Amino acid sequence: MTFSIRAIIRAFVAPNHRIRCSPILWSQILSELDRRGEREHEAGAFLLGTIDGDSRKIAEVVYYDDLDPAAYDSGVCILHGDAFSRLWARCRLRGLTVVADVHTHPGGAGQSHSDKENPMVARAGHIAFIVPNFSRPPTDMAKVGIYQYRGEHQWTDKSGLRSSHFFYIGIWS
């Protein structure tokens, strides 16, 4: 009964959002990115969860450096091949899938050339978040970059005003 009430309320509160997350989990993700990046270098994570049609729900997080201890050695996020095998194994074990990824940038949240050319998951529909200022608090959600992969190194920008209709952070997630 609780699930159906939650789904009904969510349909009214966030009817067209493509991705959603609880506020507690989102806050933990931002805080941990800040800690892992030491306010000096990029840090990132895969956001695991479920996909139902066009809707994605973030349920768990796995940080890049947990998959590849050398992920931040260059100052930017770089994962080596064996990190992905560990990621897919974790997804299978937990019955989840990668619904998005998130990483930090030192200044703004625009995509770099490398971000555009090297999506963490090169599958149409994948969502990438870029958190500005190495995720140093406070984080203004209007300044977080949100990009949806279309394939062929093409992205749709869902940032700024569009983000409030695309990404829902709330108790009804």
Structural domains in the chain plus CATH codes: 2-169 (3.40.140.10)
If we measure between CA atoms, which residue out of 108, 107, 116, 127 comes closest to residue 167? 127
Q: Compute and round to an integer the Cα radius of gyration of the chain.
A: 15
Name the token pair of 29.
Answer: 């993700």
Q: Which amino acid is at 95?
A: G
Whether the Cβ atoms of residue 163 and residue 130 lie closer than 8 Å to each other? no
Quick one: pLDDT at residue 113? 95
DSSP state of 32: H
pLDDT averages per 10-residue partition of the chain, 173 residues: 57 70 97 97 97 92 97 92 95 97 96 95 96 96 95 93 81 66
If we measure between CA atoms, which residue out of 102, 87, 97, 89 comes closest to residue 141? 102
Whether the Cβ atoms of residue 36 and residue 135 lie closer than 8 Å to each other? no
Whether the Cβ atoms of residue 31 and residue 65 lie closer than 8 Å to each other? no
Quick one: pLDDT at residue 8? 56
Quick one: pLDDT at residue 27? 97
DSSP state of 76: S
Quick one: pLDDT at residue 49? 98
